[in-house]
Amino acid sequence: MIDYLIVGSGLAGISFAETAVLNQKTFRIVDDFSFSSSRVAAGLYNPVILKRFSQVWKATEQLEYALQFYKAIEERLNVKFDFVMPVYRKFASVEEQNNWFHAADQPKLSHFLSAKIITKQFSGIVSEYGYGEVLHTGYVDTDVLLTAYNNYLEQSGCLIKEKFAYSDLVFHADSVEYQSEHYKKVIFADGFGLKSNPYFNDLPLDGTKGELIVIKSRELDLDVVLKSSVFILPMGNDLFKVGATYNWDDKTDIPTEDGKQELIANLKEIISCDYEIVEHLAGVRPTVNDRRPLVGTHPEFENLHILNGLGTRGVMLGPWLAKELFEHLELGTELDHQIDVKRFYKKKRS
C-alpha cells in the first residue's frame, strides 16, 4: 500500500511530496498540468506586509523552515531557484519615512526592517525620499523549481500526468483506492481547482486573479526588488518582472488588457526609462476570506485531507504548512486552529 496520493503539483503539492521524501514515505502525485498559479507567481518571500507595516503571520517560523527546505532541494536536484535579494520600499513622502521609522521600532518588526534610509540612486528610477530596506528577503523562481521537481518526480516514477478523476475514488476500511492502487491517505493540494472538488468545495476558497508583466530595459539598473504601488523584480539579462494586480471577480487565467494597462500606469509612476513588454501572465491565487490557509481533514472521510489556500505567500507558507499537516497525520500533533479547516466545519454544525 502506498502512503499518500497527492492531487496537484504546485507549491503546496510538491511541498508535501518533499516532506514525504524527507520522511521516507511513499507517494504518487497526480496533475494534468492544465494550469498552476504557482508557475506565474512572483515567488517573493518577504516577512512584512508593507501596505500595513505588519509582520506576516508566523513569519519567522515559516521563513526559517522554508529557506532550509529549498536549500535541500537545490542541493539534491543540482538546480538554483532560491535567490537572496533585498526588498526596497520606495518612499513617496516624508510621512512615509516617518511611518517606516515607527514600524522599525516595534519589537515584532525590528528584526525585519532596517532603520536606515537608503539613498542609493538607480538608473531609470527617481526617488526623492529614498527607500526602506526589508531584511531576510528574496525570491524563488517558481517555474524553475516546479519544472525541476516535477522532472524529478517523473524520473522517480511518482508522477501521474493526467486529470484527477474524483469518481474513481473508492473508500475501504483502512485505505482509499484510486485506479486499482491503494493509498493510506489522499492530500488535495489542488489550488483554485478545489472549486471542482466534490469533497472540499464547500470550503470558502476564493480566487483572486493576479496579472504580471515581464519587461526588458537596458536603461533600468536595478539589483534589488523594488516595492511601491507594484513590485519590480530583476530577473537578469535586462529582464524585470512587474506585478501584480488583484481582481476578485474574474476567475480565469487569461491575461487582460485592463490588467496590463493597470500595471503600465503604476509602472509609469516609478520608472522614467524606456522598456518593452516581453510577456504578460495571469493566474488565480487560491485565497481565503479570513486570510488563513485551509489545512486538515474532511469531517466525514477521515482519509481525505486538504492543503490549500496559500494565497500570495505560497513560497513561505508551502513548506511549513506541509510539515504541519504531515506531523498532524503521522504524529497526531494538533494543527493551529487558525489554519485547521475545522474552523469552518464547526460553524456549519452549530
pLDDT in the model for residue 52: 75
All three cell numbers of 237, joined, read 539579462
Q: 309: phi > 0 → left, psi -120 to 50 → alpha, else beta; which? A: left
pLDDT for the residue numbered 347: 59
Summarize pLDDT for 39-71 with one digit per residue, the tens.
677 899 998 888 777 788 888 899 999 999 999
Q: How many other C-beta atoms are found inside a 10 Å radius of the C-beta of residue 12?
A: 33
Q: How many CB atoms lie within 10 A of CB 122?
A: 18
- Residue 37 pLDDT: 72
* 86-136+206-288 fold: D-Amino Acid Oxidase; Chain A, domain 2 (3.30.9)
pLDDT single digits (tens) 71-103:
999 999 999 999 999 999 999 999 999 999 999
Look at residues 191, 267, 175 and name the one whose alpha carbon lies nearest to residue 230: 267
Instruction: Specify whether the CB–CB gap between 40 and 220 falls below 8 A.
Output: no
Lowest-pLDDT range of 8-12, 25-29, 345-349 = 345-349
CA torsion angle for 348, 284, 157, 318 (degrees, to 10)?
-70
- Quote the pLDDT of residue 348: 57
Of 311, 264, 257, 261, whose CA–CA distance to 284 is shortest?
Answer: 311
Averaged pLDDT for residues 173-202: 94
Q: Which of 315, 14, 41, 345 is nearest to 158 (CA)?
A: 14
Q: What is the mean pLDDT of the chain?
A: 92
Q: What are phi and psi of 180, to 5 degrees?
A: 75, 5
pLDDT of residue 311: 85
Taking the C-alpha atoms of residue 196 and residue 262, their distance in angstroms, rounded to an integer, is 30
- What's residue 350's pLDDT? 47
The mean per-residue pLDDT over the stretch 112-121 comes to 92
Q: So what's the pLDDT on residue 36? A: 66
Question: Where along the chain do its domains lie?
Answer: 2-46+143-204+290-349, 86-136+206-288
φ, ψ of residue 56 to 5 degrees: the values are -60, 140
What cell numbers appear for 214 in the block? 515581464
Q: What CATH topology corresponds to 2-46+143-204+290-349?
A: FAD/NAD(P)-binding domain (3.50.50)
User: What is the tens place of the pLDDT at every residue in 214-254?
Assistant: 999 999 999 999 999 999 999 999 999 999 999 999 988 89
Nearest by Cα to 14 from 145, 181, 186: 145
Find out whether 248 and 293 touch, Cβ atoms under 8 Å: no
Dihedral of alpha carbons 247, 201, 298, 27, sign:
negative
Over the range 311-344, which residues count as b (16 or more CB within 10 Å of their CB) and which as e?
bbbbbbbbbbbbbbbbebbeeeeebeeebbbeeb
**Nearest-angstrom CA–CA distance, 313 and 46:** 8
Instruction: Say what percent of the chain tops pLDDT 70.
Output: 97
pLDDT exceeds 90 at position 35: no
pLDDT of residue 207: 86
How many C-beta atoms surround the C-beta of residue 149 within 10 A?
23
Cα 182 to its chain centre, rounded Å, is 30
Select the more confidently predicted residue: 118 or 37: 118
